Chains A and B, each alone.
Chain A
Amino acid sequence: MKLSVHDLNSHYGPAHILFDVALEVGEGEVVALLGRNGAGKSTTFRSIVGLVAQRSGRIVFEGKDVSDQPTHTIVSLGLGYVPEERRIFTDLTVDENLEVGRQPVRPNAPHWTREKLFALFPNLAEMRNRPGGRMSGGEQQMLTIARTLMGNPSLVLLDEPSEGLSPKIVEQMVAAILTMKQAGVSIVLSEQNLHFARLICDRAYIIERGRICYSGTMAELDARPDIRDTHLAL
């Protein structure tokens, strides 16, 4: 297993957010974490990379127990994280944003250079010296992914990459994620948009009110419209 999460419980202050969440991601697999707004998708990701202070449970990445590790250690083991709210460094240029993400080459993960990333996201190549604050939402979304890939991760947690993007940009995003997949990066993708997930993912988990309530392959999920209607339909 690339990543396995057991009995993950998280709290924000007195509020209990995640209840015994369990996930598994295989080598090179692309897994979707589906759920409505507020279901606990982002909190799951934030808990895995250690950005939620009050969490308990077991998180094993590449055979190492990282449950007690600080964020920067977890990430520098090769577990990349792309936050939903993008969090581009707006005062830094595109090149500088990428520099912040740069990490040493890892033997078990694809090696990304600026040139490879600019080939993946051609828009970014044309604005290397533009401050992050003066980019469109779609360009920022590409930059966040590129920035995380600069760390040469072997697994990436992608939090709602299609949110708020125009259909044309979403298409580019699908292509980019498929390229990552072909390069051998394992991916966990959180989504509300089932169509987007179907284009990319092998398997899916559904999370609702902080609990994992379904898991299966994409094909199995497609065969169960009842599940889709109960847990995902708006």
Chain B
Amino acid sequence: MAFYFVQFLTGLASAASLFLVASGLSIIFGVTRIVNFAHGAFYMLGAYVAFTLTERFSGALGFWAGIVLASLVVAVVGVLVEMVLLRRIYHAPELFQLLATFGLTLMVQDLVVMIWGPNDLLGRRAPGFKGAVEFFGQNIPTYDLFLIALSPIVLGLLWLLFQRTRWGVLVRAATQDRDMVAALGVNQKWLFTSVFALGVFLAALGGALQIPRDAVHHALDLRIIVDVFVVVVIGGLGSIVGAFVAAVLVSELNAFGILIFPKISIILVFLVMAVVLIVRPWGLFGKPEAAARRTPGLTVNPWRPLTSGERLAAWAGLAVAAMLPLVGGNYALTVGSEIAIFVIFAASLHFLMSVGGLASFGHAAYFGLGAYGIAFLAKMAGLPMIVCLLLGPLLGCLGAAIFGFFAVQLSGVYFAMLTLAFAQIVWSVAFQWVAVTGGDNGILGLWPEKWAAGPASFYWLSIGVAALAVAALRIIVFSPFGYALRATRDSLLRSEAIGIDAKRIQWTAFVIAGTVAGVAGALFAYLKGSVFPDSLGISLSVDALVMVLLGGVETVSGAVIGAIVYKMLSIWLVSQTDLSKLVLGGVIVLMVVAFPKGIVGMLETIRNRRRPELPKPAVLKSGIESAE
């Protein structure tokens, strides 16, 4: 019994950091409507800066001053980020905000390694809380007790701040109606900046307070952000009380999940999240959101099928690509196959995003599931390759059917967070369930059969499948189903009013996209001869998002161009620099701020500009009108 009680207390202590970070995320979202992906990065920075400062300052006072000062320093960094980057994208579609803040996260990962090195750092123990209290033969660290006491105190302080100060009243008013607050003479800019500073301070404090418990390392950011997303989805985005309750719930589920399913403890959290989403899609303490902003809408160029000339050009492009084996060596063919595979993957996500308006941040899950599908069928069942290729993607299809069912209940940022959390759950299962998936060692020895084994034959197979997949997706875009899907994207309410079952249409689109991603994953498994949990990872999901964005979200064929350019760039970049994440992150941020239309979108704009144009209205004040 005592053991369970101690386990319970450990869970409560872990909840402290989770609550601090999640409440910061919620506060920022409430006012700015930005889901700050970089929140995990601020948490990690808090831990690193606190490590340095507590090493530098001596004594008990020095330790605590270091913790607080570190949080303040990171808050100042947050203010700079808000003023330089976020102010430019407050009116941009959610997808761009998520991507830009993710780009920041990537940059911070490399910067942290540059400054503090790649090794784990062990921080000082907290002065005054070094010992442990004995409880029926079990030891409870006193620092854990300190953390347990801290979260309700922070919760109380935040409550006072929001209920009892003018600043708090203004923030709550802005959460509801930003424009009206401005129309009452309040400068929103500084309100936003101060809110962001508070949120980042809380995240950094959460990180700084972890150093006596945990080693500081450069993967802390993604680990915490996934937990935090789960917490805010359960608790309700924008609710501080919700963040508190959900942080405790998730931490306790983790603490006891280890005891029940030691291998796949994350399943328990997933089950609870699924139940919450069915009963209250907006979270335990959240409020139903008004319809979210729609992702597209920047251009007014209507989509149309290819003209006969363009169709000819597409065939010619394919024919040229098919001639690569005549000139290229084995390396070129392997790279070519990989690019073709990523064209399929990007096209599947593009279909979901541009046609369905559903920006998935966890699309790699279905790519990876397709790859694991091949591994199971080929290694365990020993089926021939052609059968594997046909059946393997069905695992991606199945995964998309299950997760998609929950995901389409939500929209906008909730959809993005949920798909990310699902992907991370699949990744954790692949990583932890060593008996089935081989864990980190993956599954090896998946080589194609003789007819596809040569680099040239495999390349032809890949571009053939890619051409089929892209053509099939295009046909769907211009089919009645495609029109219905676009209707749900443009207005959920109006499409339902004309008799479209929006949720079912979106679910179908999710399953189609997941299955096509599974096809890409299946080919990828054969290309690499192996499957690793990385194929399900966040970075692969984001790669796909960047490909789509690079090509142009609002175009029909942007994903193809985006995948080709991005893949070639990243292969070249990795060979040129060790700081590929820093460069990639910078490129993402720059793209979102400067070229939100992508390559194909820009080409289209240039082509349209040649046509005679209507006289432009004289614009006195620039800027896009708020979409709400």
Residue ranges of A at the interface with B (Cβ–Cβ < 8 Å)? 9, 11-13, 16, 49-57, 67-68, 70-73, 75-76, 81, 83, 87, 89-92, 96-97, 99-103, 147-148, 151
Q: Does B1 contact A (CB under 8 A)?
A: no
Q: Apart from A54-B625, A75-B182, what 12 extra A-B contacts exist at CB < 8 Å? A: A53-B623, A56-B618, A57-B620, A72-B185, A72-B188, A75-B183, A91-B172, A92-B172, A99-B166, A100-B186, A101-B184, A103-B184
User: Which of B74-82, B173-181, B472-480, B486-494 touches A?
Assistant: B173-181
Given contacts A75-B183, A75-B185, whether A13 and B172 have CB atoms under 8 Å apart is no
Question: Complex Cα distance A9/B181, Å?
Answer: 25
Indicate if the CB atoms of A54 and B184 lie closer than 8 Å. Answer: no
Q: When A and B form their complex, which 6 residue pairs have the shortest distance between CB atoms, in order from nearest?
A: A75-B185, A76-B185, A56-B620, A71-B182, A87-B180, A100-B173
The answer to whether B187 has its CB under 8 Å from any CB of chain A is yes
Q: Please tell me if B450 contacts chain A, counting CB pairs below 8 Å.
A: no
Cβ distance A47 to chain B, nearest Cβ, rounded Å: 10
Interface residues of B in 253-290 (CB under 8 A from A): none
Known contacts: A76-B185, A99-B169. The answer to whether A89 contacts B621 by CB under 8 A is no
A147 contact set on B, CB distance < 8 A? 184
* Distance between Cα atoms of A160 and B625 in the complex (Å): 24
CB distance from B431 to the nearest CB of A (A): 42
> Which B residues are in CB contact (< 8 Å) with A99?
166, 169
Partner of B625, one of A12, A71, A81, A89: A12
* Interface residue? B612 (CB, 8 A): no
Say how far B562's CB is from chain A's closest CB, in angstroms.
28
Given A75-B182, A75-B185, A83-B180 in contact, is the A54-B620 Cβ separation under 8 Å? yes
Nearest A residue (CB) for B179: A51
B619 at the A/B interface (Cβ < 8 Å)? yes
Which of chain A's residues has its CB closest to B617's CB? A11
Please state if B176 and A89 are interface contacts (CB–CB under 8 Å).
Answer: yes
Q: Report whether A89 and B179 are in contact in the complex, using a CB–CB cutoff of 8 Å.
A: no
Q: Does B115 contact A (CB under 8 A)?
A: no
Interchain CA distance A90-B187 in the complex, whole Å: 21
CB of B169, distance to nearest CB on chain A (Å): 5
**Interchain Cβ contacts under 8 Å between A and B, 28 examples:** A9-B617, A9-B618, A12-B625, A13-B625, A52-B625, A53-B623, A54-B617, A54-B619, A56-B618, A57-B620, A71-B179, A72-B183, A72-B185, A72-B186, A72-B188, A73-B187, A89-B173, A91-B176, A92-B172, A92-B173, A96-B169, A99-B166, A100-B170, A100-B181, A102-B166, A103-B185, A147-B184, A151-B185
A96 with B620, Cβ < 8 A, contacts A72-B188, A76-B185 known: no
Residue numbers in A under 8 Å from B176 (CB-CB) = 89-92
Is B319 interfacial (CB 8 A cutoff)? no
Interface of B toward A, CB cutoff 8 Å: 166, 169-170, 172-173, 175-177, 179-188, 617-625
Residues of A within 8 A of B169 (CB): 92, 96, 99-100
List B contacts of A56 (CB < 8 A).
Answer: 617-620
Q: Determine the chain A residues whose CB is within 8 A of the CB of B621 once the complex forms.
A: 50, 53-55, 68
Task: Find out whether the CB atom of A72 lies under 8 angstroms from the CB atom of B618.
Answer: no
Please tell me which one of the listed residues A53, A81, A103 contacts residue B183 in the complex, with CB atoms under 8 A apart: A81
Give A56 to B619 CA distance when docked, in angstroms. 6
CB neighbours (8 Å) of B619 from chain A are 54, 56
Nearest-Cβ distance from residue A39 to partner chain B, whole angstroms: 20
| Least CB distance, A113 to chain B, in whole angstroms | 16
Bound form: Cα–Cα A70–B180 in Å: 13
Q: Please tell me which one of the listed residues B170, B173, B183, B624 contacts residue A71 in the complex, with CB atoms under 8 A apart.
A: B183
User: Complex: how many Å from CA A147 to CA B177?
Assistant: 14
What is the distance, in angstroms, from B22's C-beta to the closest C-beta of chain A?
A: 21
Determine whether the beta carbon of A89 is less than 8 Å from that of B172: yes
Scoring B177, B182, B184, B185 by chain A CB atoms within 10 A of each residue's CB, the highest score goes to B185
Q: Within the assembled complex, what's the spacing in Å between the Cα atoms of A81 and B188?
A: 17
CB distance from A62 to the nearest CB of B (A): 15
Please report the C-alpha to C-alpha distance between residue A106 and residue B604 in the assembled complex, in whole angstroms: 53
Taking a contact as CB atoms under 8 Å apart, the answer to whether B182 and A70 are in contact is yes
Query: Measured between alpha carbons, how far is A90 from B180 in the docked complex, in Å?
Result: 12
Chain B residues, CB < 8 A from A83: 180, 183
Q: How far is the CA of A83 from the CA of B181 in the complex (A)?
A: 12
Q: How far is the CA of A39 from the CA of B617 in the complex (A)?
A: 20
Q: How far is the CA of A51 from the CA of B180 in the complex (A)?
A: 9
- Chain B proximity of A90: nearest CB distance (Å): 7
Measured in the bound complex, the distance between the Cα atoms of B405 and A136 in whole Å is 40
| B175 cross-chain contacts in A, Cβ below 8 A | 91
The answer to whether B620 touches A68, judged by C-beta atoms less than 8 angstroms apart, is yes
B contact residues around A101 at 8 Å (CB): 184-185
In the bound complex, CA of A37 to CA of B251 (Å): 56
The CA-CA distance from A223 to B4 in the complex, in Å, is 88
Chain B residue at minimal CB-CB distance from A13: B625
Closest CB in chain B relative to A112 CB, distance in Å: 13
Q: What is the chain A residue whose CB lies nearest that of B180?
A: A87
Q: Determine the distance from Cα of A96 to Cα of B182 in the docked complex, in whole angstroms.
A: 16
Residues on the B chain within 8 Å of A11, using CB: 617
Inter-chain contacts of B186 with A (CB < 8 A): 72, 100
B167 → A minimal CB distance (Å): 11
Q: Which of B184, B187, B623 contacts A100 (CB 8 A)?
A: B184
Q: How far is the CA of A84 from the CA of B169 in the complex (A)?
A: 23
Bound together, the chains give a CA A85 to CA B389 distance in angstroms of 58
Residues of A close to B624: CB separation below 8 A: 53
Assembled-state Cα–Cα distance A102/B166 (Å): 10
A173 to B179 CA separation, bound complex (whole angstroms):
25
Q: Which residues of B contact A97 (CB under 8 A)?
A: 173
| CA gap between A11 and B166 in the complex, in Å | 35
Question: Chain A residues near B623 (CB, 8 Å)?
Answer: 53
CA distance A75 to B185 in the complex (A): 5
Question: B487 CB to closest chain A CB, in angstroms?
Answer: 21
Q: How far is the CB of A138 from chain B (nearest CB, A)?
A: 19
Q: Which residues of A have CB within 8 Å of B177?
A: 87, 89
Shortest Cβ gap from A148 to chain B (Å): 7
- Residues of B with C-beta under 8 A to A9: 617-618
By a CB distance below 8 angstroms, the chain B residues around A49 are 183
Contact of B620 among A55, A70, A76, A100 (CB under 8 A): A55
CA distance A53 to B91 in the complex (A): 12
How far, in whole Å, are A99 and B176 apart by their CA atoms in the complex? Answer: 15
The reply to whether A89 and B620 contact each other, CB–CB distance below 8 Å, is no
